[in-house]
Chains A and B, each alone.
Chain A
């Protein structure tokens, strides 16, 4: 019973951590005379893009894979989406182009890996170089100076917490359904846990990898669209930090770094919210970004350590 209790407590730890950070945030907000309603809105605003992208990326991490080109993919998708808007004046077209472009990039990475029998991580490195070059080409060919812009008024109505939350919930719902209540999630977790056993259980790891990348691409596309609605001026630095934010969020949310059976679809959302709460607390304390990064790094290592400690203990010698 004690062991079961421990398992339950540990699996609830990320959520408990987020709640604890939430309480800490409120305590400091009261002490420091913070605009709490605005802060809440701000936390959602700042988390949501990472939540969307990281939730999609859970499909990649579950497989034990890694995509280093997520940020570059999001930047290209946003740029192409903005160009589409500037040509057509249609926000719907922009949304479609953002999502389509990101899915296409993901498909390319995973299919190349599949065709050439390479670890998908390798193809994402190649894609990273390609996409970074593409960003410069797109901006040079279609931009004003070093940016591509769309009129702020075009998306100002969509730049609300309500709309962003709606986009997130729809995507999150789709991910929860496919991950927890459809074959896809079970199969992805199994491939991540033991690819050889998965193959000998009839699973096609390559096909699952492609599907996983498509799901991640959907998240990246939606993230690109939401980025445009938040800041319609796009440069080569757009989404520059999203790749790292995604990894940190996923780990903070309690997902094993190596993916596999213990992967959780809600890890990303919990982790992204926790990270934003932590950043806001550090901002309130006026800790500069250097100290903030160090605190984040220390917590990151501790989280990984605790999760590995748990894994080690649950393997019972005969």
Chain B
């Protein structure tokens, strides 16, 4: 009988653990009849739970927004495919979430369709819809819209970064194209922007293409960028993917140490990919976010250019979502959902990086504070557009 007793003891202890956890986790949600006083549950779909950017975004929502607004964020697990996204949405609906903010894009149309059919608000926080998709969903009653760097902004971020080094006279590059091989559009557009800048400076083409046409070229190659000459500019090594195996690290080391590479450009995670391998004196540019590590690297001169998303950049999309939940969805004059682009904070020296990081990492006075976001609750489309367009550090500080 001992094992039976043990089993039931186990069941009872589990019951106790859950009960205690439940009690300790009870949210302080109000039970008032006023809808604005009732805690709003918002589900957050994430496909990345470990990168510095993802952690910074999460910290902004959970440590700042949740403490100043009567909202509760419910995060999904790391979503790897469309099926997992559907399950996560089902979970949010079952838990009475009133809205979903999405950082996952395995099957965005399916997410929008599901939320529309279930009557739950849906907003895109990273990436944007394609033009065709926007045309299809802009009138959906529960589609809040998208605020964040659109693909043109991604292209521009890559272009600006490459141009920064080209203007300094560098002509030999190595590239890390991250998730381009997984067809992550954001990374493809950033890489295309870099190549476009090289085409202009080197007076050549990337495999016969230049400008935006390079995007199609990369897509056609399975998301791969091929090394080679672009006029007088050289791309002498390219690494892609996130395999984290010996072969991957070997390639990174080889490119970082190639004497024919003067500048290393990364579409993201450059600090992880190149920083640990590159010799001193070699330039490194990255598109990522502001962290203590990136500031440290800039101070040491290991990182020389950083276009970073600031964590509070996801504040406006939250404000738009909350507005919708409060019955005031933001629509343009034709009744279309939000589609606003936002750029990056760019630092090419340690001082700027430090300045940005201090504001960005604050959980009491972040870049977008409650006071600023409150002006957006119930605001018009144009007010939103103006607010989002003034995204630079200086404008926000004003």
Contacts and interface: CB of A to CB of B under 8 A. Distances in A.
Given A230-B86, A280-B94, A284-B95, A146 B183 contact: yes
Contacts of B3: 6, 10, 306, 309-310, 313
Contact of A306 (B7, B49, B80, B182): B7
A202 interface: no
Contacts of A6: 1, 3-4
Given A146-B183, A233-B110, A283 B91 contact: yes
B113 A152 contact: yes
A13 B7 contact: yes
B256 to A, nearest CB: 27
A2 B1 CA distance: 8
A166 interface: no
B35 to A, nearest CB: 15
Contact of A146 (B6, B78, B95, B182): B182
B372 interface: no
Contacts of B94: 34-35, 38-39, 42, 280
Secondary structure call for the B interface: helix
Contacts of A292: 77
B18 A28 contact: yes
Nearest to A314: B3
Contacts of A227: 83
Given A227-B83, A287-B21, A35 B93 contact: yes
CB-based closest 8 A-B pairs: A145-B183, A233-B107, A231-B83, A231-B82, A237-B80, A146-B183, A233-B82, A39-B94
A289 interface: yes
B19 to A, nearest CB: 8
Contact of A235 (B15, B72, B81): B81
B90 interface: yes
Interface in A113-158: 140, 145-147, 149, 152
B254 interface: no
B340 interface: no
A4 to B, nearest CB: 12
Nearest to A36: B94
A194 to B, nearest CB: 24
Nearest to A306: B7
B44 to A, nearest CB: 12
Contact of A28 (B14, B22, B49): B22
A260 B2 CA distance: 24
A307 to B, nearest CB: 9
A89 interface: no
18 contacts: A9-B4, A10-B3, A28-B18, A35-B93, A35-B95, A147-B183, A149-B107, A230-B86, A231-B85, A232-B82, A234-B81, A235-B82, A235-B106, A280-B91, A281-B18, A286-B25, A287-B21, A306-B3
Interface of B: 1-4, 6-7, 10-11, 14-15, 18, 21-22, 25, 49, 72, 74-75, 77-78, 80-87, 90-91, 93-96, 106-107, 109-110, 113, 182-183, 219, 222-223
A149 B1 CA distance: 55
A152 B96 contact: no
Secondary structure call for the A interface: helix
A272 to B, nearest CB: 13
Contacts of A35: 93-96
A146 B18 CA distance: 41
B11 A17 contact: yes
Nearest to A149: B107
Contact of B96 (A20, A33, A140, A231): A33
Contact of B15 (A20, A286, A310): A20
Given A145-B219, A235-B106, A240-B80, A309 B6 contact: yes
B93 A238 contact: no
Nearest to B90: A42
Given A6-B1, A285-B18, A306-B3, A233 B106 contact: yes
A231 B87 CA distance: 9
Interface string A276-295: 00001101111111001000
Contacts of B7: 9-10, 13, 306
Contacts of B18: 24, 28, 281, 285
Contacts of A149: 107
Contacts of A241: 80, 84
Given A6-B4, A17-B11, A42 B93 contact: yes
Nearest to B87: A46
Given A28-B18, A231-B82, A283 B93 contact: no
